Amino acid sequence: MKHIKKIKDRLLERKQELENEFIDLNSEKFSDDQVQDTGDQALATTMETLRKSFTDTKRGEYKMVLLALEQIEAGTYGTCIDCEKPIASKRLELFPYATRCLGCQEVFEEG
Ligand SMILES: [Zn+2]
C-alpha cells in the first residue's frame, strides 16, 4: 500500500473533525432552553430527532475511522474484513475508511 501515510493523515484529520463536532453538539443546550422559552414540545422533538440521526451517522463514521486506523496499525489496512481480499485502491481513495470491498459492502447494506 503506497499511500498509507497519506491515508492515515486523512483519517486522523477526519477523526479530529468528528471529535470536535461531538464536543460542539454536547455543549449545545439547544433543545432544553428552547422548550422552556416557547413551550413548543413538537419543535424540540423534531430537533432532537434530527440531532439523533445526525449523531448516529457521525458515530458510525467515527467508528469506521477508528477501525481503519486500527487496521493501519495492525498492517491489515486495505483488506476486506469479510472476504479478506484486497479492497480496490480506487475505492480506498474515495472512502479511506472503507473496511469492506464493494461486493461485501453491498451484501452488508442489503442486510
Ligand atoms: Zn469482501
Q: What is the pLDDT of residues 55-81, one digit of tens each?
A: 888 999 999 999 999 999 999 999 999
| AA letter at 16 | Q
Which residues, in sequence order, are CB contacts of 99 under 8 Å at separation 6+? 64, 67, 68, 71, 80, 81
Domain ranges of the chain: 4-78
Total residue length of the chain: 111
Q: In whole angstroms, what is the distance from residue 46 CA to residue 42 CA?
A: 6
DSSP three-state, residue 86 = strand
Expressed in angstroms and rounded, the spacing between residue 50 Cα and the centre of ligand 1 is 32
**pLDDT of 26 higher than 80:** no
User: Quick one: pLDDT band at residue 32, thresholds 50, 70, 90?
Assistant: low
Residue found under cell 480506487: 90
Q: Which residue has the cell 413538537?
A: 42
C-alpha 72 to ligand 1 mean position (Å)? 17
Measure 13 CA to ligand 1 centroid, in angstroms: 26
